[in-house]
Structure 1
Amino acid sequence: MTQNYQAEVTQYFRKKADGYDRTDEQVYWRLSDELLWEALERYVLPSVPEGAKLLDAGGGTGRWSDRLLRHRKDMSGVLFDLSPDMTRHAAAKSVQHGYADRFQVLQGDLGELGGQVEDEQFDLAISFHNVLGFVDDVPSVLRQITAALKPGGQAVLVVPNRYHAVFFNIFTGNLDEAESAAFERRGRFTPDMPAMHLFTPTELTGTLNEVGLPVSLVTGYPVAVYPGFQETQLDGTSATVQQTLSDEAAYDRIKGIELRLLGEPGLAERGNNLFVVARKPK
């Protein structure tokens, strides 16, 4: 990562760090998180071995390390992230929730992951949400994640969907960013965030195959409900999302629709996020 871009990313997450986990309180992200957890339980966790070791690549405040290590008390984990402002929250969670003895936080640029962790050490590697969008060289980072996995280990990626970025920016009236997403495969969802790589299912599958991580599942989520601008902030709910999801009975029915569609490969392009599972050959 270039020094200027690294500084931009670090500053962005410094401002977000203390309030980052408040997204749990927003109804859209509650639905999104419930779908992601269901995807993990369906497609990933059943084949994660007893005593597995987790790599959370770009894990930030540790929202997903925390959930996995509390759910699977046989697992241990390493979180690797650029932002010290984010990772101090991850470390605090591990103490608060009683797994600090099986959790390690490492600081650094994902482009240098291979120099910080041993090869063939992990059974499961996760990299969720916009993390891979913020690295300079995506194939290089994916090669380093591949090297860190044991043979048979799984990588689970959640990345920003280029097609959704085009839609979202048209929907919110930012045609410059819509054009950037469509033509340059880079963009952003808010004016204050650094521009990032955007992904399509075909491109990401091809890259993973090239680095030695054959894909077993590529899909998207949520596919029927999309965020508004307010959902890009740490607080608040957009009017359309509020109208759609605020009623609990309607929320449950919509969640049921999303769960029924979850995992269908043909819906990847419709997802707000892409969800990809790949496995290192034995």
Structure 2
Amino acid sequence: MNPTTGTAGTGHEEVIGYFREKADGYDRVDEQVYWRLSDELLWEAIERYVLPALPRGGRLLDAGGGTGRWTDRLLGARPDLTAVLYDLSPDMSGHAREKAVKNGYADRLTIVNGDLMNVAEDLAGHSFDLVISFHNVLGFVAEPTEVLRQLSTLMAPGSQMALVLPNRYHAAFFNIMVGNLEEAESAVVDRSGRFTPDMPSMHLFTPTELQGDLAGVGLHTVVRTGFPVLVYPGYQETQLDGSSAGVMRTLSDPEHYARIRALELKLLGETAMAERGNNLLFVARRGV
């Protein structure tokens, strides 16, 4: 749920306003048991597939980094890294700046506010060893393939791009489960939609389409998967507080949580899991 810019059917100011209202409470998602599991799986994927190939003294670009949740983790895990967090919303990135001061890496983080449709121009002259864009960021831009092209021009030879994107198939499933057939139809027919009435409409992605888009901008997919694949969020998980009854029944018991997490970890990275994932997870590389 990070901001960038509006989709073809969504006004720029609507996206900014949506995330202005979310900014102060956004990091409370850490308290929800489903998103705790999701974050643990994503961090495991980063440790498996991304960090081993990230050079010492590398440069990170967090494209649509919001409140800096993932920049914070990466800069904390790798004191040798420097980063640029690029985001449309000053309200969101203000929290990222506070984290940087609190956690002692303000000298290693630069924050730039701007529209991802202009990222190549705004960051001209920069070169990055890792570009990340997590959760719904590319769903909210006007032209996702154009943003991917621009981001690819900022990547150094041999660098990586890690993406977490909204899965078109899961969006259709979720909306059927909550009784919103119009949004399910939009996901299937129009390849766009939303998870709650108050959020802006966004582009939705399939694994095959995304892999083709990455190849089109010169990036080779090395990880194509999804997560979580065995437990799905309910409506309450689209909010900043609370947990759905079904999710609580499944994950609230610590022993059950641990066993489900172990199963998710066994499936993490499998290509066949991409279509099943609540989120799509891709890692792609630029040639040397």
TM exceeds 0.5? yes
The DSSP-based 3-state class of the residue aligned with 1:101 is helix
- Tell me which residue corresponds to 1:217: 223
The DSSP-based 3-state class of the residue aligned with 1:158 is strand
1:183 to 184, 189, 200: 189
Tell me, yes or no, if structure 1 residue 207 matches structure 2 residue 239.
Answer: no
2:257 to 238, 248, 251: 251
Matched letter for residue 127 of structure 2: Q
The answer as to whether partners of 1:186 and 1:196 remain within 8 angstroms in 2 is yes
- Tell me which residue corresponds to 2:13: 7
Shift of 1:118: 2.9
Matched letter for residue 228 of structure 1: G
TM-score normalised according to structure 1 size:
0.98
1:274 to 274, 280, 283: 280
The DSSP-based 3-state class of the residue aligned with 1:104 is strand
Shift of 1:107: 0.3
- Tell me which residue corresponds to 2:73: 67
**Same amino acid, percent of matched pairs:** 63
Shift of 1:139: 1.2
The answer as to whether partners of 1:120 and 1:147 remain within 8 angstroms in 2 is no
Shift of 1:172: 0.5
Shift of 1:116: 1.2
CA separation in 2, counterparts of 1:80 and 1:120? 12
Matched letter for residue 86 of structure 2: F
Aligned length: 282
Tell me, yes or no, if structure 1 residue 172 matches structure 2 residue 178.
Answer: yes
1:90 to 76, 92, 96: 96
Tell me, yes or no, if structure 1 residue 22 matches structure 2 residue 33.
Answer: no
CA separation in 2, counterparts of 1:120 and 1:212? 18
- Tell me which residue corresponds to 1:38: 44
Q: How does 1:41-56 map to 2 (within 5 A)?
A: 41-56=47-62
The answer as to whether partners of 1:120 and 1:150 remain within 8 angstroms in 2 is no
| Structure 1 runs, 4 residues or longer, greater than 6 Å off | none
Tell me, yes or no, if structure 1 residue 57 matches structure 2 residue 63.
Answer: yes
Question: Superposition RMSD on alpha carbons, in Å?
Answer: 1.1
Shift of 1:119: 4.8
CA separation in 1, counterparts of 2:267 and 2:125? 36
Deviations 1:179-220 (A, max 9, x none): 000100000000000000000000000001001111111100
- Tell me which residue corresponds to 1:134: 140
CA separation in 2, counterparts of 1:148 and 1:117? 8
CA separation in 2, counterparts of 1:83 and 1:120? 21
Matched letter for residue 62 of structure 2: D
Shift of 1:95: 0.3
- Tell me which residue corresponds to 1:230: 236
Matched letter for residue 26 of structure 1: Q
Tell me, yes or no, if structure 1 residue 113 matches structure 2 residue 123.
Answer: no
CA separation in 1, counterparts of 2:251 and 2:162? 28
Matched letter for residue 141 of structure 1: V
Tell me, yes or no, if structure 1 residue 262 matches structure 2 residue 284.
Answer: no
> Structure 1: which 5+ residue stretches go unaligned?
none
CA separation in 2, counterparts of 1:151 and 1:144? 15
Deviations 1:145-191 (A, max 9, x none): 10111011100000000000000000010000000001000000000
Deviations 1:209-262 (A, max 9, x none): 001111111100000000000000000000000000000000000000000000
CA separation in 1, counterparts of 2:17 and 2:202? 15
TM-score normalised according to structure 2 size:
0.96
